[in-house]
């Protein structure tokens, strides 16, 4: 009968070396007949103690890796690695540095039990003399037969005669006496960063602790590598999306403009536009195409470019602009639909004529009123054989702001649509009096109030958000 072996958990090799104080295992007992109970081991408890230790370690690793898997951002994952590693090595403070060896970024530093100023103080120590710096810069020789750096332990910084004076000064100021640094590296992912845990008194992890945190570190590195690819893809998509949108807003007498745009992790097709038209007029547009990823971005770029052309030709009739856009979409991309809203504005007369195709209604924000503009119900572009809906005319009072937006703003709240509309209305109504003269301040206040957790925390399913504010003088 072979010695029992615990199963793998969460992709981690369950081979755990025996602790120094554990006696060698005794010989396995002779196999008993099928169905008969096994006799107890000759020596009693050592084998059972070892099995219990394995089960305990694997259970702990399982819990820690499950918590890590639930993180969906680089910052959150690094903080979880710090917390879990501190529990494994018996420390209470630490610092994690993400600095991929390929140099493509992003670079990120987070702390556990360390304030921002204390992290800055540690970073004043020359990198070449710090354990995490030697790991990140590859200054230490690699272990024989390995392509990965090894962990670095400083059991007692106070007794190291060759310790850099600046390092000694910072350690004394922050009150740590020992450190243990672990590389965040695997052969598949390469070197992504390093974690260093700090001890208040001279100490170092035992062999068993080192083994467990090493297993956890390899799993954490693979998880960070996946998040890193997602983040890089998100940045690339956001860059392309920003390039497809206006680089700056036009300056038109009688109106002030402000825009906010954030692309979700997968890259959606939400867009906005503001273009000068003949005789001092202004065209405002927002819209969204179905789908996500590069194809949606490409469709968004084509749709926006087409709308600009139609707006120049017949901008005074928003219904005609959207009708032309619907025909183009149906002929060139029959499998795709889109929502859009186009407004023809005459700032000198404070007159707006607008039409929408399945789009959310604008919001009028003023000193004496905050209300949605009543637009007729209409289907999105590409949903019917022939689209047409009547236009709506409105006249903002001096100082009032017209807010155009996409439904991504409402969906990011996580509420049902009726509650999301109420939430947006309440946010607009609560704009401070001092901020109502600045469309940038209006847009920022609405975003902060509607999305209190921030615009950049949409998670893996985050929607695109577009906001276009026009204040009429």
Q: What CATH number does the domain containing 231 carry? A: 3.30.450.40
If asked whether residues 200 and 249 sit together in one domain, one would say: no
Give pLDDT, residue 22: 40
In 3-state terms, what secondary structure has residue 196?
A: strand
| 99-124 confidence digits (pLDDT tens) | 999 999 899 999 999 999 999 999 99
**Which burial class, exposed, middle or buried, applies to 287 when counting CB atoms under 10 A from its CB (0-12, 13-18, 19+)?**
buried
Beta strand 370-372 pairing with 465-472: unpaired
Q: CB-based contacts of 82: which residues, under 8 Å, 6+ apart?
A: 94, 95, 96, 110, 111, 112, 195, 197
If asked whether residues 221 and 252 sit together in one domain, one would say: no
Mean pLDDT score, 387-391: 75
If asked whether residues 332 and 207 sit together in one domain, one would say: no
Evaluate whether 328 touches 309 at the Cβ level (below 8 Å): no
Say whether the peptide bond before residue 235 is cis (omega within 30 degrees of 0): no
Tell me whether residue 12 is in a domain.
Answer: no
Residues 191, 100: Cα–Cα separation, whole Å: 6
pLDDT band at 246 (very low <50, low <70, confident <90, very high): confident
If asked whether residues 220 and 328 sit together in one domain, one would say: no
Residue 417, number of CB atoms within 10 A of its CB:
12
Domain end position, chosen among 189, 209, 235 = 235
Least-confidence region, from 71-80, 141-150, 171-180: 141-150
Domain end position, chosen among 213, 235, 257 = 235
Beta strand 269-277 pairing with 281-289: antiparallel
Domain end position, chosen among 235, 257, 284 = 235
Q: Which of 187, 180, 177 is nearest to 82 (CA)?
A: 180
Q: CB-based contacts of 144: which residues, under 8 Å, 6+ apart?
A: none
Mean pLDDT score, 423-433: 95
| 273-313 confidence digits (pLDDT tens) | 999 999 999 999 999 998 887 888 888 889 999 999 999 99
Residues 341, 380: Cα–Cα separation, whole Å: 10
Residues 206, 89: Cα–Cα separation, whole Å: 8
Say whether the peptide bond before residue 275 is cis (omega within 30 degrees of 0): no
Q: Is the model more confident about 400 or about 452?
A: 400
Q: Is the model more confident about 403 or about 53?
A: 403
If asked whether residues 218 and 309 sit together in one domain, one would say: no
Evaluate whether 208 touches 77 at the Cβ level (below 8 Å): no
Tokens standing for residue 251: 């300056």
Tokens standing for residue 94: 């630490």
Residues making up the chain, counted from first to last: 473
Tell me the pLDDT of the chain averaged across its residues.
86
Tell me whether residue 167 is in a domain.
Answer: yes
Mean pLDDT score, 227-232: 92
Question: How far is the CA of 116 from the CAs of 110, 111, 120, 199, 430, in angstroms?
Answer: 9, 8, 6, 19, 33
C-alpha torsion 125→126→129→131, nearest 10: 70
If asked whether residues 130 and 63 sit together in one domain, one would say: yes
Quote the radius of gyration of the chain (alpha carbons, Å). Answer: 31
| Sign of torsion over alpha carbons 456, 457, 463, 466 | negative
What count of Cα atoms within 13 Å lies in the side-chain half-sphere of residue 374? 0
Mean pLDDT score, 455-461: 46
Q: What CATH number does the domain containing 406 carry? A: 3.60.40.10
Residues 92, 83: Cα–Cα separation, whole Å: 8
Residue 174, number of CB atoms within 10 A of its CB:
16
Quote the DSSP letter at residue 252: B
How many angstroms separate the most distant Cα atoms in the chain? 100
If asked whether residues 181 and 298 sit together in one domain, one would say: no
If asked whether residues 196 and 255 sit together in one domain, one would say: no
Question: How far is the CA of 154 from the CAs of 14, 159, 180, 279, 346, in angstroms?
Answer: 27, 10, 6, 74, 71
Domain count, the chain: 2
Tell me whether residue 369 is in a domain.
Answer: yes
Give pLDDT, residue 387: 61
Least-confidence region, from 37-46, 188-197, 415-424: 37-46
What residues make up the domain containing 203?
46-235
Evaluate whether 464 touches 339 at the Cβ level (below 8 Å): no
Give pLDDT, residue 5: 47
Residues 371, 224: Cα–Cα separation, whole Å: 46
Q: Is the pLDDT of residue 51 over 90?
A: no
If asked whether residues 405 and 269 sit together in one domain, one would say: yes
Residues 130, 139: Cα–Cα separation, whole Å: 10
Q: Is the pLDDT of residue 47 over 70?
A: yes
pLDDT band at 125 (very low <50, low <70, confident <90, very high): very high
Mean pLDDT score, 123-137: 94
Tell me whether residue 25 is in a domain.
Answer: no
Tokens standing for residue 16: 């755990």
Give pLDDT, residue 385: 58
If asked whether residues 391 and 411 sit together in one domain, one would say: yes
Tell me whether residue 24 is in a domain.
Answer: no
Question: How far is the CA of 23 from the CAs of 2, 16, 26, 38, 73, in angstroms?
Answer: 18, 15, 9, 22, 44
pLDDT band at 79 (very low <50, low <70, confident <90, very high): very high
| Three state DSSP letters for 402-428 | EEEECCHHHHCCCCCHHHHHHHHHHHH
| Chain centre to alpha carbon of residue 100 | 18
Tell me whether residue 22 is in a domain.
Answer: no
If asked whether residues 136 and 261 sit together in one domain, one would say: no
Mean pLDDT score, 196-202: 96
Predicted TM-score (pTM) of the model is 0.68
Tell me whether residue 289 is in a domain.
Answer: yes
If asked whether residues 277 and 209 sit together in one domain, one would say: no
Tell me whether residue 15 is in a domain.
Answer: no
């Amino acid at each position: 009968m072979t010695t029992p072996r615990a199963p793998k958990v969460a992709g981690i090799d369950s081979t755990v070396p025996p602790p120094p104080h554990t006696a060698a295992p005794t010989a396995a007992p002779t196999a008993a007949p099928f169905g008969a109970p096994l006799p107890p081991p000759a020596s009693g408890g050592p084998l059972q103690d070892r099995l219990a230790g394995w089960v305990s370690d694997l259970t702990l690793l399982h819990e820690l890796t499950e918590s890590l898997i639930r993180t969906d951002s680089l910052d959150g994952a690094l903080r979880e690695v710090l917390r879990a590693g501190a529990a494994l090595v018996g420390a209470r403070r630490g610092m994690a540095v993400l600095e991929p060896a390929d140099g493509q970024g992003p670079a990120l530093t987070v702390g556990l039990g360390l304030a921002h100023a204390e992290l800055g103080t540690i970073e004043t120590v020359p990198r070449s003399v710090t354990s995490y710096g030697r790991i990140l810069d590859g200054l230490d020789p690699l272990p024989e037969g390995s392509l990965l750096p090894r962990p670095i332990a400083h059991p007692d910084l106070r007794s190291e005669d060759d310790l850099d004076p600046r390092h000694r000064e910072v350690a004394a100021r922050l009150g740590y006496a020992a450190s243990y640094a672990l590389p965040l590296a695997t052969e598949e992912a390469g070197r992504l960063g390093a974690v260093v845990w700090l001890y208040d008194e001279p100490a170092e992890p035992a062999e068993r602790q080192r083994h467990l945190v090493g297993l956890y570190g390899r799993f954490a590195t693979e998880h960070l590598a996946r998040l890193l690819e997602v983040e890089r893809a998100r940045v690339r998509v956001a860059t392309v999306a920003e390039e497809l949108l206006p680089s700056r807003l036009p300056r038109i007498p009688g109106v002030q403009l402000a825009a906010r745009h954030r692309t979700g992790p997968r890259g959606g097709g939400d867009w906005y536009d503001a273009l000068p038209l003949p005789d001092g007029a202004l065209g405002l547009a927002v819209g969204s195409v179905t789908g996500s990823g590069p194809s949606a971005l490409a469709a968004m770029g084509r749709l926006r470019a087409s709308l600009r052309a139609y707006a120049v030709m017949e901008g005074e009739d928003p219904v005609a602009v959207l009708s032309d856009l619907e025909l183009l979409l149906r002929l060139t991309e029959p499998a795709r639909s889109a929502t859009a809203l186009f407004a023809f504005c005459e700032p000198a007369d404070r007159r707006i004529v607008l039409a929408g195709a399945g789009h959310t209604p604008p919001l009028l924000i003023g000193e004496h009123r905050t209300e949605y503009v009543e637009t007729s119900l209409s289907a999105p572009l590409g949903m019917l054989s022939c689209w047409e809906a009547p236009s709506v005319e409105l006249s903002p009072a001096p100082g009032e702001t017209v807010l155009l937006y996409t439904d991504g703003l409402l969906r990011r709240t996580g509420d049902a649509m009726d509650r999301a509309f109420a939430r947006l209305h309440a946010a607009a109504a609560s704009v401070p009096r001092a901020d109502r003269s600045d469309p940038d301040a209006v847009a920022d206040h609405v975003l902060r109030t509607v999305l209190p957790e921030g615009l950049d925390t949409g998670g893996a399913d985050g929607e695109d958000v577009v906001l276009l504010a026009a204040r009429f003088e």
